[in-house]
Amino acid sequence: MRRSLRSAASFLPSKLTLPTLRNAAASCTGCDLYKTATQTVFGEGPARATLLLIGEQPGDQEDVAGHPFVGPAGRVLDKALEEAGIARSDVYVTNAVKHFKWEPQGTRRKHKKPSAAEVAACRPWLEAEIQVLEPRAILCLGVTAAQSVFGKSVRVNELRGRPLPAPLGKTVFVTTHPSAILRGPDPAQREEDYRHFVGDLRLIAEYLQQRR
Ligand code: SF4
């Protein structure tokens, strides 16, 4: 007998607004990740945001705080957005997967990459956020976000640096995840990767400026 695929789809509220979505996502059990995470970390930002920014999943600090991008990667992101001239008030931030996936490493909870099945299970939340927000552009931070948006495996370095046709009806940009910058092997590499990241964000700022 075929097993039915689990997903968040059956948890979506009948009326789609950011508050109803956030409320419904709080009790999602569409995959197993809710079992070991502290809470659902839903997207945040103004309903009139022009740019939707998608990360992979909440990190250890986000899981505890209940807010996306408040940990070390969030601080890199905030700094880079400011340097690129993108106001955080124009940005809605979310993740492809709304629960923190981790494995124990000593006393720490070590980040674990979500599987393709978990990304697909959580995709209805992301699609609903896009439907409600109607952003002018979407920025995928890293391979998992891009995998969710494009619905298949992609390579970030082949896609970054240009606007892409819109699989979910929006123009999409792809860049690295700020946590990948933090994992760089030495300060010089981290600085180079950070500059490349800011360059990608500047491109999006220009794109949004031209379409005001
Ligand atoms: S990761 Fe997504 S699909 Fe899985 S339980 Fe959490 S909100 Fe639901």
| H/E run at residue 112 | none
pLDDT, residue 70, reads: 94
> How far does the centroid of ligand 1 lie from the alpha carbon of residue 100, in Å?
9
Q: Is residue 114 within 8 Å of 102, Cβ to Cβ?
A: no
pLDDT, residue 167, reads: 73
- The CATH H-level (homologous superfamily) assignment of domain 15-210 is Uracil-DNA glycosylase-like domain (3.40.470.10)
Query: What averages of pLDDT result for each successive group of 10 residues across the chain (212 residues)?
Result: 74 97 98 97 96 97 96 95 94 98 95 96 97 96 96 93 83 96 96 98 94 74
pTM above 0.75, yes or no: yes
Domain limits, the chain: 15-210
What DSSP string describes 15-83? S--HHHHHHHHTT--SSGGGGTSSS----BS-TT-SEEEEESS--HHHHHHTSTT-SHHHHHHHHHHHH
pLDDT, residue 52, reads: 97
Q: How many CA atoms lie within 13 A of 172 on its CB side?
A: 20
Residue to substitute in 11, 23, 29, 31 for testing ligand 1 pocket (most ligand atoms within 8 angstroms of CB): 31
Pick from 49, 92, 101, 51: nearest CA to 201: 51
> Cβ < 6 Å from ligand 1: which residues?
8, 25, 28-31, 33-34, 40, 97-99, 121-122
Cα 71 from Cα 85, distance rounded (Å): 21
177: three-class secondary structure by DSSP: coil
